[in-house]
Structure 1
Amino acid sequence: MVERGEPVRLCLHIGMPKTGTSLIQSVLQGLRPQLAHEGVWLPPNNLAAHRIAVEAFAADSRLSTRADVEAIREAITFEEAVAHSRPTSEEFTKVILSSEYFQQCSVPLLLPLLEKMGFSSEATSVVAALRRQDRILVSGFNQDVKAMHRSTPLIWDPDDAHQLDWYALLTPWAETFGKDAIKVQVFDREVAKKESLTCLFLEACDVSYDEASVTSLEVSRRDQENASLPADLLAFKFVANGVTRPGEVDWLIDEAQARGVGGGVYGLAEETVQAILEHYRMSNRQVALEYLGEDGDLFDDVVTAPTHTDLTVDPVILSSLLAICVAAQPRAEGARNHHLR
């Protein structure tokens, strides 16, 4: 860290799953020159923050051996991540580190790492966007099937619900950095109001920005979002995951989406959603009271019926996917013949 009188302020973004984290990170990278002009340092890529976060995983965490975590460790060393995260001159007075892996790290293990990097707990703020638990469950399941080759069904288990208890998740951050340092945002409200997720994030970090530039980048980088699969394609991918190797049918799903194949919305049955809402209600109210100063519910109670609550594959979709395979066959044969020459 460059020597200076005042400590550099650190803004940690706990990228909660399915709250626009990928989009925000992409837009921030696009804003890097403008942020530098405001004295804000952002690592040249997202890997640095990811690597710092996974360094703080508990030794016995099952996440440590997950393929994506191992890939991060192989892509960049911790020392390289630290070097990328340090401002290069005294002109920078603030650092932003954004990673979805901060949600899963051990805060007591993270703090000494940050202190060794030259950051202090007193000069750190933590931004976390929260989403209603049933919605994040369904959206996360969709993403796991789409990108992580998941082949186990989505089952709501109240005995294993602690991972989505937002009050419990925020508590170690508040104990370490102080409750006033925790900036809670409610993703559901932001989406309902059609607000810019990146603008709201920068406001939470107390960073000046040009709204037109931010919104323009958000529009142009919407493809960076991890969009959910329509129910028909989700059902096919779910079944395919059980009998294929990771990545084998990704091209087919991409082709189907590009052609508008499949529709519908997968979700949980209404009685399950109601059970989830009640399970977390008091914890969510504590978050609203202690972090937002609100006396009431953190989230709305609106329950929208999905078109699909099971993962039965539609034969019509199979026909459409087969047609895509047939159309792709000449290309595959051409590539194979070229390889054999």
Structure 2
Amino acid sequence: MPPRLNIHIGLAKTGTTTIQAAMHGNRDRLAEHGVTYGFERMNHSVRLLVAFQSDPMGYPVVVNAGIDAADLPRLGESARQRLASEIARCKTPHYLISGEAASSFSLEDVKRIRALTDDLGVGDIRILCYVRDPISFARSIVQQRLKSGARLGELKYRRPGPAFRQRIEPWIETFGRDSLKIVAFETACRHRGGLPGSMLEAILGTEVTLPEIPEQKRQNASLCLEAALLLDALNARHPYLVDGGIGPNRSRGDANVLLRGIRGTPFHLGPDFDREVAADAADDVAWLREVSGQADLFGGYEAMTHRTYPEPAWSTETLEDVAATLFSQRAELTQPKG
């Protein structure tokens, strides 16, 4: 009898890397509990993209993997054969794959997965989808883009939305609503076993705790408000991106090194930003609550739009001076210790 196929599709900013690291690093422990973690790598996005997506070269993760467009037919066929072989040989009741890129698949892309599972006789399929409330999602995306060189002023007016319906509906149309398991990121973070424990409970229906492994340590921790403003000042003085590449005065991921561990005011973009994000996402959230059967999903996060926020502890002048000092010390601060 084929295993249940569990497909974890993200969504973005919901701890996908933490979950993948835990599953990949505890393969033997997972197998003891009846779960096989697929493929040989931690993140399965590239495999899923080349196997099922209509234009995989449009994804930076594929380009960064050094894949040539001419090799896509061969690589796609190889990935499909590998997936089919692993499912056919799976000795546990559950087979799990995880790739956040799958949340961007079109209906046609998802149907290609369905065609493969039909050929394999796999009828028991669970789509695992973690979701984050639109306001905290938007703040997290803003920080990510800030670390990639964007300016806070422009980001306030380019409000990112989670696009729940766009990302999830193709999976519902293909596999049915009953196949979908929606988990609130905020709730999963409070699980006794953390995000990985939450994932395993969603799969197994019982609590399993995995030992923490080094890869689970956060590599993209949230910045406080002062650190974010500091990075904004640094981006103004020394742009992160210049002519399509990393600027001559910057280095890849330098924000995580320079600003790591700075304590201060919790990051926010003000009540107007929160209200606009909530208004933009209102229909999307209503749809998600309806299809998930969770009327209280996100626990009334809309109340966040009525909050008042403290001003940053540092003045603009202080932030600019600290940014200049940090930049002058960047070589020493970002140099690996040996």
TM-score (norm 2): 0.76
8 Å Cα contact 2:133-2:298 kept in structure 1:
no
> What does residue 293 of structure 2 align with?
292
What secondary structure, in the 3-state scheme, does the structure 2 residue paired with 1:91 have? Answer: coil
What secondary structure, in the 3-state scheme, does the structure 2 residue paired with 1:164 have? Answer: coil
Paired AA for residue 11 in structure 1: N
Q: 2:258 aligns with which of 247, 256, 259?
A: 256
> What does residue 335 of structure 1 align with?
none
Post-superposition offset of 1:23: 0.4
Note the 1:202-213 alignment, pairs <5 A. Answer: 202-206=200-204, 210-211=208-209
1-side partners of 2:309 and 2:122: how far apart?
44
> What does residue 3 of structure 1 align with?
none
Tell whether 2:277 aligns with 1:276.
yes
Post-superposition offset of 1:242: 4.3
Post-superposition offset of 1:234: 3.1
Post-superposition offset of 1:280: 2.4
Q: 1:74 aligns with which of 59, 64, 67?
A: 67
Paired AA for residue 170 in structure 2: P
1-side partners of 2:271 and 2:311: how far apart?
12
What secondary structure, in the 3-state scheme, does the structure 1 residue paired with 2:155 have? Answer: coil
Q: Which runs of 5+ in 1 are unaligned?
A: 1-5, 333-341
8 Å Cα contact 1:51-1:73 kept in structure 2:
no
> What does residue 195 of structure 2 align with?
197
Q: CA offsets, 1:89-127, max 9 Å, x none?
A: 352332111111011122322332453365567321101
Q: CA offsets, 1:257-292, max 9 Å, x none?
A: 35x458554432212211221332343233223313
1-side partners of 2:163 and 2:2: how far apart?
33
Compared CA separation, residues 156 and 88, structure 1 to 2 (3 A): same
> What does residue 11 of structure 1 align with?
6
Compared CA separation, residues 73 and 111, structure 1 to 2 (3 A): farther
Tell whether 2:101 aligns with 1:94.
no
Compared CA separation, residues 222 and 316, structure 1 to 2 (3 A): farther
8 Å Cα contact 1:145-1:237 kept in structure 2:
no
Aligned length: 314
Paired AA for residue 199 in structure 1: G
2-side partners of 1:121 and 1:89: how far apart?
13
1-side partners of 2:62 and 2:293: how far apart?
33
Post-superposition offset of 1:319: 3.7
Compared CA separation, residues 250 and 32, structure 1 to 2 (3 A): same
2-side partners of 1:122 and 1:296: how far apart?
29
What secondary structure, in the 3-state scheme, does the structure 2 residue paired with 1:183 have? Answer: strand
> What does residue 339 of structure 1 align with?
none
Post-superposition offset of 1:222: 3.9
Post-superposition offset of 1:135: 1.7
> What does residue 146 of structure 2 align with?
145
Compared CA separation, residues 69 and 236, structure 1 to 2 (3 A): farther
Q: CA offsets, 1:306-332, max 9 Å, x none?
A: 6679xx782232243144247479x89
8 Å Cα contact 1:55-1:78 kept in structure 2:
yes
8 Å Cα contact 1:121-1:176 kept in structure 2:
no
What secondary structure, in the 3-state scheme, does the structure 2 residue paired with 1:249 have? Answer: coil
8 Å Cα contact 2:230-2:323 kept in structure 1:
no
1-side partners of 2:121 and 2:150: how far apart?
39
Q: 2:231 aligns with which of 218, 228, 234?
A: 234
> What does residue 104 of structure 2 align with?
104
Q: CA offsets, 1:282-303, max 9 Å, x none?
A: 4323322331343677642343
2-side partners of 1:151 and 1:51: how far apart?
34
> What does residue 41 of structure 1 align with?
36
2-side partners of 1:82 and 1:237: how far apart?
45
Compared CA separation, residues 49 and 37, structure 1 to 2 (3 A): farther
Q: Which runs of 5+ in 2 are unaligned?
A: none
Q: CA RMSD in A?
A: 3.8
8 Å Cα contact 1:57-1:64 kept in structure 2:
no
2-side partners of 1:179 and 1:284: how far apart?
16
Q: CA offsets, 1:163-185, max 9 Å, x none?
A: 62323432221111110110001
1-side partners of 2:162 and 2:61: how far apart?
21
Post-superposition offset of 1:243: 4.2
Compared CA separation, residues 209 and 169, structure 1 to 2 (3 A): same
8 Å Cα contact 2:51-2:79 kept in structure 1:
no
8 Å Cα contact 2:4-2:124 kept in structure 1:
yes
Paired AA for residue 110 in structure 1: V
What secondary structure, in the 3-state scheme, does the structure 2 residue paired with 1:205 have? Answer: helix
Post-superposition offset of 1:250: 3.2
236-245 or 23-32, larger mean C-alpha shift? 236-245
